Amino acid sequence: MNNSKYKVLIIASHPVPYSAPLFRLMAQHPKLDILVAYCSLQGAEPGLDSGFGVEVAWDVPLLDGYHWVQIPNQSPQPGLGRFFGLINLDLWKQIRTGGFDAVVAYTGYAYASFWVAATAAKSSGTALLFGTDAHELSPRDRTTWKENLKKLLLPWIFGLADTVIVPSSGGVKYINSLGIPEQRIKLTPYAVNNEWWIAQAKQVNRAEVRQKWNIPEHSPVILFCAKLQPWKRPQDALRAFAKANVSESYLVFAGEGPLRSELEVEAKALGIAERIRFLGFVNQSQLPSVYRTADLFVFSSEYEPFGVVVNEAMLCGCPVVVSDRIGARHDLVQHGETGFVYSCGDVDALAKILQVVLPDSECLHKMSVAAAERMKTWSPQQNIESLVQALEKTLTS
């Protein structure tokens, strides 16, 4: 302990817009002395995002307001999304000689660098906190052998943590189902920078944005905001929109990816192309205007450990409809009050929700207010206080 502060090394794969505001608040917390160790600077520096299929450099500050270091990556083929894409061997020295009270690893166990850090922490007696944003065992590709392998290995992997930190109540149940006792699991709410999103949304001129989109000011607008990847199931939103056939309504896709051309072709085949808008990749600073200008946000993904786009939409006053595979639904979406939940892949059920809700401006307004109220108790401040509580319990037990 240093001046009654917990000295903590936070390991992150790369800078992202969601974590940077949290790190800034952590740096200001009276009980925390943090150093963030990045295994890569992808995101802060321009680079190809394989999910979007375009070069991405986020247009909000990611490295300001907190102490950080870049750990050299010795991988012969550096990159995210592969086990050997991050091999940051100097994490060993950083942990063994840094005098840290605890290591918090946000780099998942699917990277070699995580195992360097975990081994260094365990061998030096440094408290180790890590977790997952998953809320179910099934992998993204639904392969049985991976699920069976997870059943075998995950109890041992998460057993290495002094405390397992998870971002949702669904995650708590999931980790507990693996045999980890509840007293070693801590819910740290997966939050975005609530104040920023609310402030930015208030400045949006909906009429002006809709004019840019070539959409009438009072037409009902559905938004799909995510990478256009197969597991996000954007085609479900398109087909449900066509089935619902709400008068004078529009569907806007914000995001890029390999399914875009297929969606454009299908929209033409369904005879609705003139009511579909493709915005392509939208950078962080422009997203509040996208959410605020829509009337309803649809998230149809079949694999979504959490889904912070739900946070963003609700903070911007956009009611949400999510599939039952979205992790955020466990804590943020109360069916019929703060949003709607439907069975993933059930296009008819999604279309029915759109038919009933989209023309009902009073219902949409009530849900917008209820969503904003819910987000008051799901914030970065709560995330950090939960982490501090986890550290206190881990280091004093």
**Other CB atoms within 10 Å distance of the CB of residue 212:** 11
What pLDDT shows up at residue 397?
Answer: 79
What pLDDT shows up at residue 70?
Answer: 97
Q: Of 63, 62, 1, which Cα lies nearest the Cα of 32?
A: 1
What pLDDT shows up at residue 219?
Answer: 96
Structure tokens at 163: 């405390």
Contact 30, 254 (CB under 8 A): no
All residue ranges of the chain with pLDDT < 70 are 1-3, 46-57
What pLDDT shows up at residue 249?
Answer: 97
What pLDDT shows up at residue 180?
Answer: 97
Structure tokens at 393: 């319990």
Structure tokens at 253: 């896709």
Q: Give the CA-trace dihedral at 288, 289, 292, 296, to 10 degrees.
A: -90
pLDDT tens, residue by residue, 72-120: 999 999 999 999 999 999 999 999 999 999 999 999 999 999 999 999 9
What pLDDT shows up at residue 140?
Answer: 85
Q: Which domains does the chain have, with CATH numbers?
A: 6-191+379-396 (3.40.50.2000), 194-375 (3.40.50.2000)
What pLDDT shows up at residue 199?
Answer: 97
User: CB pairs under 8 A, 24+ apart, for 281-287?
Assistant: 281/52, 281/54, 281/56, 281/255, 281/256, 282/225, 282/254, 282/255, 283/56, 283/58, 283/59, 284/17, 284/58, 284/59, 284/60, 285/59, 285/60, 285/200, 287/225, 287/254, 287/312
Rounded distance, CA 216 to CA 210, Å?
7
Contact 259, 186 (CB under 8 A): no
pLDDT tens, residue by residue, 238-284: 999 999 999 999 999 999 999 999 999 999 999 999 999 999 999 98
3-state SS string for the chain: CECCEEEEEEEECCCCCCHHHHHHHHHHCCCEEEEEEECCCECCECEEECCCCEEECCCCCCCCCCCEEECCCCCCCCCCCCHHHCCCCCHHHHHHHCCCCEEEECCCCCCHHHHHHHHHHHHHCCEEEEECCCCCCCCCCCCHHHHHHHHHHHHHHHHCCCEEEECCHHHHHHHHHCCCCHHHEEECCCCCCHHHHHHHHHCCCHHHHHHHHCCCCCCCEEEEECCCCHHHCHHHHHHHHHHHCCCCCEEEEEECCCCHHHHHHHHHHCCCHHHEEEEECCCHHHHHHHHHHCCEEEECCCCECCCCHHHHHHHCCCCEEEECCECCHHHHCCECCCEEEECCCCHHHHHHHHHHHCCCHHHHHHHHHHHHHHHCCCCHHHHHHHHHHHHHHHHHC
pTM of the predicted model over 0.95: no
Contact 86, 71 (CB under 8 A): no
Contact 220, 209 (CB under 8 A): no
Q: Give the CA-trace dihedral at 82, 285, 296, 136, to 10 degrees.
A: 20
Rounded distance, CA 349 to CA 341, Å?
10
Rounded distance, CA 35 to CA 90, Å?
15
